Structure 1
Amino acid sequence: MADHHLFIDFEFTMPETERRDKSFVPEIIEVGMVCVSGLEVQQTFSSYVKPVINPILTERCKAFLNITQADVDQGISFTELVEILKTFDQSGNARVVTWGNMDMYVLRKSCEYWGVPYPFKGREADLSIEYKNFYGDRNQTGLIKALHEYGYKAKGKHHRALDDALATFEIYKLIENDRRYLNKTNSPCIGDFVDVASLFGKVGSGH
């Protein structure tokens, strides 16, 4: 397992209605990132990002994300975002962890759209899938619901990029703790290799 992890969450522009619109191109408008080494937070990063394709946020987007037009108007550009992300994975060994696959999908598509190199070279992990597989859930679970299932309350605000990235890291730590516990309790003991009853029977009979 890579020692260096980047827990990332993006928020995106949204069309005015929930109806699927294939022509709509989602853009990253907020980034939250938690840099972790050895399960210790080393650094956090948060910024708004200025959209270009649809520069004016829809009312639905502003209401759902609790974000204002002024917030994104003062944000960094997408190319600046990519350059910043690159600095956090200079070795190419960082493991990028998200909750769901949408974050990296939109990042890749945006890089293709603007003709800029994808910033990450290391492994990527969708923690929602790992959570689903580890606990045997039939369906994928939402980020906040997963926290609640652990008995934790979310800190900060849901759908704020840095708060969601921090929540993803919290769930990661809980999963890793459960994995260590299972590995410990499932460790083989002598009884797994030796028929103890048979052994004592032989000793008692003088063999």
Structure 2
Amino acid sequence: MKTTNEILIVDLEATCWEYDRIPAGQKVDIIEIGICELNVATQAISKKQSIYVIPERSKISKFCTDLTGITPQLIKEKGIHFEEACEKIRDEYHSGSLTWAGFGNFDKEQMMQQCDYLGIENPFSESYLNVMNQFKHYNGLHKMMGLKRALKFLNMDFEGNHHSGADDAYNAAKILREILQ
């Protein structure tokens, strides 16, 4: 990890379909970038927000809306293009120089894949921390567990709505903060 005190915690929500059946001609698109900042020195979690992203290669299915609460109308009202979202992250979080983290590898892989596909520079550094793996090793566990179960294991409550990017990022930050104490 870099020596800075800030770590960005990211949770993405993306277009999805029941039974992971991606319709012909569509690709998984990021529709929300949930992000917050963990100050390792003060243990404060701050700058939590949802950045809604207009899907460029797919449509939001009913299944996806039921899971995430993200509707086509919400995206129409608050969504910005992926490239703008990346610029916003760079500008507001100085993300290129910070370690970033997510609960598992989906967020890292999806961000890299979408940046590559669209020819956009990844707004995050190459320093990525998989909070799920850190949690597993910290607790000496043999199996992975999801975000909600990990919080329960640590006797913490889930705050907010599961599959809300900003809320999931915040809850992953709470787990990381506990591990780094």
Report the TM-score, using the length of structure 2 for normalisation: 0.88
Q: 2:104 matched to which residue of 1?
A: 100
Task: Summarize the Cα distance change of 1:63–1:88 in structure 2 as closer, same or farther, 3 Å threshold.
Answer: same
**In the aligned structure 2, how far is the partner of 1:92 from the partner of 1:58?**
33
Q: Which residue of 1 aligns with 2:73?
A: 70
Q: How much does 1:52 deviate?
A: 1.3
| 2:84 corresponding residue in structure 1 | 80
Distance in structure 2 (CA, Å) of the matches to 1:91 and 1:13: 24
Mean alpha-carbon deviation: is it higher for 81-90 or for 139-148? 81-90
Once the two structures are superposed, residues 26-49 of structure 1 have per-residue CA deviations (whole angstroms, 9 ceiling, x without a partner) of 111011111233322342232211
Q: In structure 2, do the counterparts of structure 1 residues 51 and 19 end up closer, same or farther at CA, with 3 Å as the change threshold?
A: closer
- 1:27-85 deviation line (CA, Å, top 9, x unaligned): 1101111123332234223221110111x311111111122110122211101111112
**C-alpha distance in 1 between matches for 2:95 and 2:139:** 33
Give SS of 1:175's match. helix
Q: Is the 8 A contact 2:8 2:95 kept in 1?
A: no
Equivalences for residues 5-154 of structure 1 within 5 A: 5-15=7-17, 17-19=18-20, 21=22, 24-37=26-39, 38=41, 39-54=43-58, 56-74=59-77, 75-88=79-92, 90=94, 92-154=96-158
Contact persistence 2:36–2:48 (CA under 8 A): yes
Q: What residue in structure 1 maps to residue 159 of structure 2?
A: 155
Contact 1:98 1:168 in 2 (8 A): yes
In the alignment, the residues of structure 2 paired with residue 164 and residue 91 of structure 1 have an alpha-carbon distance, to the nearest angstrom, of: 19
Give 1 or 2 for the bigger CA radius of gyration: 1
Q: Does 1:2 align with 2:4?
A: yes
2:68 maps to amino acid: L
In structure 1, the residue matched to 2:178 is 174
Deviation at 1:90, TM superposition (A): 3.4
Q: Aligned in 2, Cα 1:45/1:130: closer, same or farther, shift over 3 Å?
A: same
Post-superposition offset of 1:22? 9.5
Q: Structure 1 vs Structure 2: percent identity of aligned residues?
A: 26
Q: Which residue of 2 aligns with 1:189?
A: none
Deviations 1:105-154 (A, max 9, x none): 11111111111111122511010011111212111110011101111111
Q: How many pairs does the alignment contain?
A: 175
| Cα distance, 1:151–1:26 mapped onto 2, change above 3 Å | same
Greater RCO (CA < 8 Å, at least 6 residues apart): 2
Could you list the runs of 5+ residues in structure 1 that have no partner in the other structure? 178-207
- Tell me the distance in 2 between the aligned counterparts of 1:109 and 1:126: 17
3-state SS of paired residue (2:32): strand
